[in-house]
Structure 1
Amino acid sequence: MARADTLARARKLDRPDLAYIVRFASADGVKDMELTRTELAEAASWVSARLSEHGLSAGKRALITASGYEGFWVHPMIKGLGALRVPYGIAEGMGWDHRRAGVFQRELRPDAVIGLTAETLEGLAGAADLAETFRATSLILARPDALPVLRGAGVPAFAMTTVGPALALECPARAGAHVDSGAWRLSEEDGQLSIAAGEHRRSALAPTPLGIAGRVVTDRCACGNEDPRVLLAQADQR
């Protein structure tokens, strides 16, 4: 059977909307929740809007550093970049793949580096000066453990983190990392964050304490976004 015929028949098959089982740490242990293809598409649209606020647009280039188990946020990031017509490269977020990240940084010269980890930075710092490495990079979205390393080297960076199953991205106003209010409901009690499924979400998640120290800010951000913002204790360093 020709490949075209096979693909044509495959398109007629029932396609479950379930895309991922997301596993995340909570205050009471590991939790699982479903993530549908519809929710992924909505997340991609949200991510695209956030990246656009940082000035990413057609013709610019990006590097993503992530691990395979993080597909639940990598997929919307890839689709979001695609919607903006931004080509990208991917390197593993573990330290052993820092050389690939370094090659992309030198050869691709990305306008944005998304998801930088402290492990990647440790490897890169052994071969080059971090300030020089990222001098021409206009946007860096870094994990909480990488932020103090970058800022200590004089590299301006924005926070990118997961809050349980949710993705949080800091805006240009640097007033905290936004979380999609349609997908998630955030709350805090005694300085600890909790999360639940939002009204637009089809996958259920009851209010779940995460065991993450931080604050939730709900007033309108200076960037104009009304999505709530999280300020993590270890990342709230301006």
Structure 2
Amino acid sequence: MARADTLAHARELERPELAYLVRFPTPDGVRETGLTWTELARDTAWATERLRGHGLASGQRALLTASGFEGFWGQAVIGALCTLRVTYGIAEAMGWDHRRTTVFHRELHPDAVIGLSAETLEGLSGTADVGEMFRPTRVVLARPAAVPVLRRAGVPACVLAAVGPALALECPERGGAHVNAAEWRVGERDGELHVAAGELRTSPLAETPLGIRGRVAGGRCACGSEDPRVLLAVADSSSSPRS
């Protein structure tokens, strides 16, 4: 059977509504919640608008650094890049794969680098100047521990972070990382974040402390979004909203 016929047949088969079982750390141990295909489609649509807000568009190129277990947000970002018709390459976010990041960065000349980790930067530091490497990149979305390193090197990085099972993605205004308010309820207590499933979420999740230090900013962002923004403690020291 030809590949096209096989794929067409596969699309007709029934599949479980559950797409991922998302496991995430909390102060009381690992918790888990489901992620359905319908929820993933909505997460993808939200990520698409977030990346479009960074100016990503058809014909551009991106480098995504992510690990397989991060599929609950990685697939949403990949789906967003596909929707925007942005060509992308993927490298592992662990430090041992920093050479792949170097190769993709050199060959793709990416307009965006998404998901840079502190481990990747540490691996690169022995072979490259991360400032020289990423300053020409128009959009850099990095994990919280990597953001201060990049900003000290003159790279105006924005935050991308997993807040439990939710994805937090900072807009160009750099006033905190947005969380989809239609899907998640995020809050803070005693300087630490907690999260719960929103009304649209089929997969239940009661309010769950995350042990992540930070605060939540409400109100309308300068980018126009009404989504809440999380300001993570590790990035606060070098993060300030743009005027």
Query: One fold, TM greater than 0.5?
Result: yes
The residue number in structure 1 matching 2:180 is 180
Q: Aligned-pair distance for 1:135?
A: 2.7
Task: Please give the secondary structure, in 2, of the residue aligned with 1:174.
Answer: coil
The residue number in structure 2 matching 1:203 is 203
The residue number in structure 1 matching 2:36 is 36
The residue number in structure 2 matching 1:78 is 78
The residue number in structure 2 matching 1:144 is 144
Partner Cα separation in structure 1 for residue 76 and residue 2 of structure 2:
32
Unaligned runs of 5+ in 2: none
Q: Aligned-pair distance for 1:2?
A: 5.8
TM-score by length of 2: 0.94
Partner Cα separation in structure 2 for residue 51 and residue 225 of structure 1:
13
The 1:17–1:173 alpha-carbon spacing in structure 2 relative to 1, beyond 3 Å, is same
Task: Please give the secondary structure, in 1, of the residue aligned with 2:234.
Answer: coil
Partner Cα separation in structure 1 for residue 119 and residue 27 of structure 2:
25
| Aligned pairs for 1:117-128 within 5 A | 117-128=117-128
Q: Which amino acid aligns with 2:211?
A: G
**How many residues align structurally?**
238
Partner Cα separation in structure 1 for residue 225 and residue 125 of structure 2:
35
The residue number in structure 2 matching 1:102 is 102
Q: Which amino acid aligns with 2:90?
A: I
The residue number in structure 2 matching 1:135 is 135
Sequence identity of aligned pairs in percent? 65
RMSD of aligned alpha carbons? 1.3
Partner Cα separation in structure 1 for residue 138 and residue 3 of structure 2:
43
Q: Is the 8 A contact 2:184 2:197 kept in 1?
A: yes
Q: Is the 8 A contact 2:114 2:142 kept in 1?
A: yes
Partner Cα separation in structure 1 for residue 19 and residue 171 of structure 2:
28
1:27 aligns with 2:23: no
Q: Which amino acid aligns with 1:57?
A: A
The 1:6–1:172 alpha-carbon spacing in structure 2 relative to 1, beyond 3 Å, is closer
Q: Which amino acid aligns with 1:93?
A: A
Partner Cα separation in structure 2 for residue 5 and residue 102 of structure 1:
38
Report Cα offsets for 1:195-231 as digits up to 9, x if no partner: 0001111111011111111111111111110000001
Q: Aligned-pair distance for 1:11?
A: 3.4
